Amino acid sequence: MPLTSGSAAVGTVATQLNTGSVNPSLLHVQNIDNTDTIYLGGPAVQVGFGAGVAKSAEHDFTLFPGQIMYAISSKAGHVVSWLHQTQ
């Protein structure tokens, strides 16, 4: 099961976190910021309209083949780390 990981400085424009996979996968996202929530979803995700990950929290997401997760924040430079495990 291949693993990829990284971090992204998320801002007010949706930022792609993972690449699409031909197999199901698990995406673990950690909100490194200690003041604000990040929002996750598709390319049209908006602040307040997505899966929220609260400050200093983390969450696992099961992704279907080809799904790509995007993150957005209400501020620039919001640090998010991720681990993507492909089955």
Residue 11 clears pLDDT 80, i.e. is over it: yes
Q: What is the pLDDT of residue 48?
A: 94
**pTM assigned to the model:** 0.92
Q: What is the pLDDT of residue 50?
A: 94
Cα 28 from Cα 5, distance rounded (Å) = 9
Fill in the amino acid letter for 84. Answer: H
Question: According to CATH, what is the number of the domain 3-86?
Answer: 2.60.120
Angle at 31 between CA 10 and CA 36, to 5 degrees: 75
Locate the domains of the chain by residue range: 3-86
Give the model confidence (pLDDT) of 17-71 as tens digits: 998 889 999 999 999 999 999 999 999 999 999 999 999 999 999 999 999 999 9
